[in-house]
């Protein structure tokens, strides 16, 4: 689905004018920037900023902060390059150049005097140098080839995805090219960059990848990092041959999911779960903050219908001339509909599963459950309480209700629910019983978005009630804009939600 890029901010313009020297690239001129579309200037500014970045500080340990994805920054730059002029266009061309090209950024350019060597398999070639800071050992080059070819066999041969586009001998022959270079000073494990548009196509392109030459200084075991990066970045190259301009959230989520599919024992992608809807259920599914962590959504989809269902989604997103060229959520909904599953029910099931990952995911025992976002407690001194909230599109909120000592004659917990958009809201009550069992009750709102539920309040019977409210709206209007949401459109606004809990006779 073709989309535009975010508008240039004053902060990015400042960065654009100062980062050229840091990245070994000429800074764009202010005059040129003001004469060009804002989205194109923003794409160049972002790419310059990320190439000039420094390694994130992981010294404190714990969950890693996801580094901005250079592959999609270069993708955005590639899409915008035709709208750049003068030195800005030349800077874009340099950022997109292979390490063997003299014009490539110093961050991954092979220095003059070094001699690149190729190690090739059936489908893939690894290019490296043996001197300079970009040097890679024989063993590392061989291991990289092994892991990328393993990924090829799993993704292309086993799962049936379209292979990365033939680069017409750009690297020496028609095999897929992966370069090894020292990317760790910028905090990158690897990236893929689009290169040439395929003949007769509008949004399918050839590509190449660059992976770090030793994965040292990036945290974790180097071999695990190499395996996860090989799978993730290779899948970006596959995506570039379906729809180069597809929504970022789904490109990243599905690429991070592929790490799990190809190298299940590595589990590097678990570090991002706290940023997706498992760890942050109030953040919309298509928000930039959750791109990596929302591989869990793709996992939920694949567990329900098999790994091949994700390929079926990408076939709906295919931007080949004459193909459907749907956008991310549109494609997911189409695939679900073909299986007789309604999107609101599926997404509500996903939100509910995240509260109990041990029960719903193959490796869920290792995942931290989605947090309960709000809490209410009733007892003799407080027999009524109300919570109001705004539930953003494609997100959920939970309210835990507990009951202490009961006042005389009051043995029932009454819940009065109200939502501003009944068609989009899905509500469930998760009744945690005193015996350790769990009862699920789905609540149907009336046309005005109202419902009432009654539950025994005795602590001998019920320990806690969790009210789950899910905003299922996947409708985005005015697609093709620069919103940053799915399809570049404007999502449905937040649900206004109110829950009143009271103890009654």
What tokens were used for 306?
């098999």
Q: How many CB atoms lie within 10 A of CB 37?
A: 16
Same domain, 21 and 150: no
pLDDT of residue 36: 56
Helices 38-51, 10-18: crossing angle, 10 deg rounding: 50
Check whether residue 405 and residue 319 sit in a common domain. Answer: no
- Write down which residue in 366, 385, 418 finishes a domain: 366
Residue 336 to residue 289: CA distance in whole angstroms: 25
Distance CA 300, CA 116 (A): 43
Task: Specify the pLDDT at position 92.
Answer: 94
Task: Choose the final residue of a domain: 96, 131, 151.
Answer: 96
Final residue in a domain of this structure, among 327, 343, 366: 366
Contact 491, 391 (CB under 8 A): no
Q: In what order do the strands lie in the sheet with 176-181?
A: 117-120, 124-128, 176-181, 205-212, 190-197
- What is the distance of C-alpha 465 from the center of its chain? 32
CATH number at residue 389: 2.60.120.380
**HSE (side-chain half, CA atoms, 13 Å) at 80:** 31
Question: pLDDT by residue for the chain (505 residues), tens digit each?
Answer: 433 333 333 333 333 333 333 344 444 333 333 455 678 888 888 888 888 765 444 444 443 344 558 999 999 999 999 899 999 999 999 999 999 999 999 999 999 999 999 999 999 999 999 999 999 999 999 999 999 999 999 999 999 999 999 998 899 999 999 999 999 998 899 999 999 999 999 999 999 999 999 999 998 899 999 999 999 999 999 999 999 999 999 999 999 999 999 999 999 999 999 999 999 999 999 999 999 999 999 999 999 999 999 999 999 999 999 999 999 999 999 999 999 999 999 999 999 999 999 999 999 999 999 999 999 999 999 999 999 999 999 999 999 999 999 998 899 999 999 999 999 999 999 999 999 999 999 999 999 999 999 999 988 899 999 999 999 999 999 999 889 999 999 999 999 999 999 999 8
Nearest to 105 by CA among 188, 170, 171, 21: 21
What is the structure's pLDDT at 20? 37
Q: Is 74 left (phi over 0), alpha (psi -120 to 50) or beta?
A: alpha
Do 267 and 332 fall within a single domain?
Answer: yes
Residues in Cβ contact with 211 at an 8 Å cutoff, skipping those fewer than 6 apart: 144, 178, 179, 180, 181, 183, 189, 190, 226, 229, 230, 233
Residues 247 and 275 reside in one and the same domain = yes
**201: exposed, middle or buried (Cβ count in 10 Å: 0-12, 13-18, 19+):** middle
Q: Is the dihedral of CA 384, 375, 493, 451 positive or negative?
A: negative
The verdict on 184 and 151 lying in the same domain is yes
DSSP 3-state of 91: helix
Same domain as 234, residue 109 = yes
Which pLDDT does position 49 carry in this prediction?
Answer: 86
Give the 3-state secondary structure of residue 68: coil
Q: Which residues contact 139 (CB under 8 A, 6 or more apart)?
A: none
Contact 147, 175 (CB under 8 A): no
Same domain for 195 and 331 = yes
Q: What does residue 39 show for φ and ψ, rounded to 5 degrees?
A: -65, -35
Residues 477 and 495 in one domain: yes
Mapped onto helix, strand or coil, the DSSP state of residue 26 is coil
The pLDDT of residue 195:
96
The SS3 of residue 189 is: coil
* C-alpha dihedral sign at 37, 41, 44, 47: negative
- Rg of the chain in Å (alpha carbons): 25
CATH number at residue 292: 1.10.390.10
Confidence (pLDDT) at 314:
98
Angle at alpha carbon of residue 252, lines to 237 and 23, rounded to 5°: 75
Same domain, 355 and 455: no
Count: domains in the chain? 3
349 and 292 within one domain: yes
Looking at the structure, tell me whether residues 225 and 361 fall in a common domain.
Answer: yes
The pLDDT of residue 37 is: 65
Are 301 and 359 within one domain?
yes
Measured over the CA atoms of residue 219, residue 224, residue 228 and residue 234, the dihedral's sign is positive
Q: Which domain holds residue 76?
A: 1-96
């Amino acid at each position: 689905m073709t989309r535009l890029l975010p508008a240039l901010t004053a902060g990015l313009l400042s960065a654009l004018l100062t980062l050229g020297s840091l990245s070994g690239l000429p800074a764009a001129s202010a005059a040129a920037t003001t004469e060009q579309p804002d989205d194109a200037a923003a794409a160049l500014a972002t790419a310059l900023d990320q190439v000039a970045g420094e390694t994130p500080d992981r010294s404190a340990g714990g969950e890693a902060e996801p580094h901005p994805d250079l592959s999609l920054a270069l993708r955005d730059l590639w899409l915008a390059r035709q709208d750049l002029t003068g030195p800005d266009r030349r800077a874009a061309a340099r950022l997109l150049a292979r390490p063997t090209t003299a014009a490539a950024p110093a961050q991954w350019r092979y220095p003059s005097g070094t001699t690149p060597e190729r190690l090739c398999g059936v489908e893939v070639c690894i290019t490296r140098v043996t001197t300079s800071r970009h040097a890679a050992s024989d063993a590392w080059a061989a291991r990289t080839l092994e892991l990328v070819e393993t990924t090829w066999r799993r993704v292309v041969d086993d799962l049936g995805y379209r292979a990365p586009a033939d680069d017409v001998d750009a690297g020496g022959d028609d095999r897929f090219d992966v370069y090894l270079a020292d990317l760790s000073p910028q905090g990158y494990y690897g990236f893929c960059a689009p290169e040439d548009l395929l003949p007769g196509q509008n949004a399918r392109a050839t590509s190449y990848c660059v992976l770090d030459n030793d994965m040292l200084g990036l945290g974790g075991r180097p071999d695990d990092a190499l395996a996860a990066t090989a799978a993730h970045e290779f899948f970006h190259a596959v995506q570039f041959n379906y729809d180069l301009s597809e929504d970022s959230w789904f490109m990243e989520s599905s690429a991070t999911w592929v790490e799990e599919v190809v190298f299940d024992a590595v589990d590097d992608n678990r570090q991002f779960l706290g940023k997706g809807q498992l760890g942050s259920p109030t953040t919309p599914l298509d928000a930039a903050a959750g791109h990596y962590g929302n591989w869990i959504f793709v996992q939920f989809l694949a567990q329900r219908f098999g790994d091949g269902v994700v390929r079926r989604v990408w076939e709906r997103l295919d931007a080949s001339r004459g193909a459907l060229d749907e956008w991310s959520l549109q494609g997911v909904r189409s695939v679900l509909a073909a299986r007789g599953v309604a999107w609101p029910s599926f997404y509500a099931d996903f939100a509910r599963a995240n509260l109990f990952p041990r029960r719903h995911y193959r490796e869920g025992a290792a995942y931290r459950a989605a947090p309960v976002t709000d809490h209410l407690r009733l007892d003799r001194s407080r027999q009524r309480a109300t919570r109001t909230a705004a539930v953003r599109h494609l997100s959920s909120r939970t309210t835990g209700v507990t009951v202490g000592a009961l006042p005389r004659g009051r043995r029932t917990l009454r819940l009065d629910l109200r939502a501003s958009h009944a068609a989009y809201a899905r509500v469930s009550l998760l009744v945690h019983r005193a015996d350790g069992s769990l009862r699920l009750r789905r609540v149907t709102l009336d046309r005005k978005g109202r419902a009432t539920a009654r539950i025994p309040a005795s602590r001998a019977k019920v320990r806690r009630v969790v009210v789950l409210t899910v905003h299922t709206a996947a409708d985005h209007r005015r697609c093709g804009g620069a919103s940053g949401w799915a399809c570049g459109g404007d999502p449905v606004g937040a649900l206004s939600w109110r829950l009143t809990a009271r103890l009654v006779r």
